[in-house]
Amino acid sequence: MTEASDTGVIRLNTADDFTTHSASIIGQAVRKIDVLAGTLELSWLGNAAVVDALKQAVLGNHRLQLRILIANVLPVIETDHPLLPLIRRLSRIEARVIDEQTLIKQPLKAELILVDRGGIVMRQSAEQFVGFAHQDDKQTVAVKQGVFDQYWRFSKTHSDLRHVYL
Q: What is the DSSP letter of 71?
A: S
pLDDT tens digits, one per residue of 41-85: 999 999 999 999 999 999 999 999 999 999 999 989 888 899 999
Band the pLDDT of 126: cuts 50, 70, 90: confident
pLDDT given at position 100: 93
Report yes or no: 89 and 61 within 8 Å, Cβ to Cβ.
no
- Mean predicted lDDT score pLDDT of the chain: 91
**CATH classification of 10-157 is 3.30.870.10, yes or no?**
yes
